Structure 1
Amino acid sequence: MFILKRQDVEITSVPHPKKDQQIPILNYQGQHFRLISVFSAAQEEDAKAFWRDLTDNRGKACVLLEEPDRYSVWGKVRLDQLAAEADSGKDDAASPAYIQACLILLQAVYIDIEDLLGGRQANLFEKEITGVLKQWRFPQTDSPESIKQLLTIDPLASLQMPAWQEHHLNTLLQELFRLGKQHFGNGNFTGRVLDALQDMPANDRNMFLSWLGQSPTGKDWK
């Protein structure tokens, strides 16, 4: 549909009808759009290609928001539709295995930074990832303790994953790659980090890697 600038739109949030979380909503000329995916400023072509695929090939009503430090794709939604989805029992949370895999990658980057670069860099990374989670309103990250748990508790032993959607996972992976590249100086760390997924059940791991390969940030992690 449109490529918009930040000054063209208003971004607010609405409470999820059934969950203790906020849903980011973009408002443009009386229409409402829900966040689908986020790209860094360097991923302009990827963002436009993803947006065009949704609009031209899949018939989705989407907008591309262009900001100085990022691009984001938003899909049209009616606010009453959110309530209807909740009442029908439709759950838009990502697969628990995908959330599990993303947490394993998050912890692997954190551990790698601590082991190779030291505690000071690890503390800096923790502050940076906390900023990402808060900026994009990730559910269940409202306290330092909750974020510390994400960085330290084995996802494979946890009984409950945070209620994140796929756009949260895409945002996390994009920001995780950006921060890892920033700390290590290049993107070569991804191979080491992906090795941590070997602890997952093979079927879950293969499904996640297939999903990752088709995600907006997949080529960064290949």
Structure 2
Amino acid sequence: MFILKRQDVEISSIQHPKKDQQVPILHYQGQTFRLISVFKAGQEEEARTLWRELTDHRGKACVLLEEPERFSVWGKVRLDQIGNDTGGHSKNSTLIQASILLLQAVHMDIEEFLGTKQVSLFEKDVAEFQKQQQFPETASIEAVKQLVSIDPLESDKLPPWKENHVVSFLQELHKLGKTYFGNANFAHQVANHLQDMPEGERSLFISWLSQSSLNKLWQ
């Protein structure tokens, strides 16, 4: 939508109605935008990639703000929507939800294209790497079967993973997927697999992914 400089806009903050925090708000020509993601000065290409993904591919109204020390992506929002777009979830919950959705997508494709025998082996492999890396609560076949069957967006019993667990999980999931399918094409459809997530949470995850060590695996 727009690529703007700092002098083009006004930035303020408002109190989040549901959390004890301030929400950055960008004002431009009578429109309001809330911060989606921040990139360092050397990450211009990553910032532009996220901005194009949101505007060109998903039709979202977004601003890419260019500043000397950083780039930032902002999504159009009405002030009365603040507090609703991420459902009050923490960043960690969002990362876990997205990881489970990606697991389910890989699981579904293995079952569809390779059959039930291979998907059973896949479930064992997922449980095994979690056991080796001491994942809390999900390092068993039974737990993996539950992960592939729940709706992570509705469940109030997400696994108690930390961010390092999410990184390890997605690394191993990519490795397994490549082994089963023989290529990494399955990993280039992240946005499609996360269509059920609210826009704010999906953008948060994709932004986190693009800035993590996983960006070359899942982009």
- TM-score, normalised with respect to structure 1: 0.56
Q: Considering only CA atoms, is the larger Rg found in Structure 1 or Structure 2?
A: 2
Change (3 A) 1:132 1:143: closer
For 2:158, the aligned partner's letter is: M
What is the CA deviation profile of residues 49-103 of structure 1, one whole-angstrom value per residue up to 9, with x for unaligned ones? xxxxxxxxxxxxxxxxxxxxxxxxxxxxxxxxxxxxxxxxxxxx96101100001
Partner Cα separation in structure 2 for residue 127 and residue 185 of structure 1: 19
**Structure 1 ranges of 4+ moved more than 3 A:** none
Alignment of 1:55-70 (within 5 A): none
Alignment of 1:98-177 (within 5 A): 98-177=95-174
Alignment of 1:1-222 (within 5 A): 95-192=92-189, 194-222=191-219
Partner Cα separation in structure 2 for residue 172 and residue 141 of structure 1: 11
Q: Structure 1 or 2: larger helix share?
A: 1
Partner Cα separation in structure 1 for residue 120 and residue 215 of structure 2: 27
Change (3 A) 1:179 1:143: closer
Partner Cα separation in structure 1 for residue 216 and residue 140 of structure 2: 32
Name the count of aligned residue pairs: 130
For 2:101, the aligned partner's letter is: I
Change (3 A) 1:159 1:149: same
Gaps of 5+ in 2: 1-89
For 2:213, the aligned partner's letter is: P
Change (3 A) 1:169 1:111: same
For 2:203, the aligned partner's letter is: N
Change (3 A) 1:113 1:193: farther
What is the CA deviation profile of residues 189-215 of structure 1, one whole-angstrom value per residue up to 9, with x for unaligned ones? 113454110110010000000001111
Partner Cα separation in structure 1 for residue 134 and residue 174 of structure 2: 19
Partner Cα separation in structure 2 for residue 144 and residue 210 of structure 1: 31
Partner Cα separation in structure 2 for residue 143 and residue 208 of structure 1: 26
Gaps of 5+ in 1: 1-92
Question: Secondary structure of 1:148's match?
Answer: helix
Identity in percent: 49
Q: Taking CA–CA contacts closer than 8 Å with sequence separation of 6 or more, which of the two structures ends up with the larger relative contact order?
A: 1
Q: Report if aligned partners of 2:128, 2:140 keep a CA contact under 8 Å in 1.
A: no
Partner Cα separation in structure 2 for residue 133 and residue 166 of structure 1: 14
Partner Cα separation in structure 2 for residue 146 and residue 125 of structure 1: 13
Change (3 A) 1:123 1:216: same
Change (3 A) 1:187 1:175: same
**Aligned residue number for residue 28 of structure 1:** none
- TM-score, normalised with respect to structure 2: 0.56
Superposed CA RMSD: 1.6
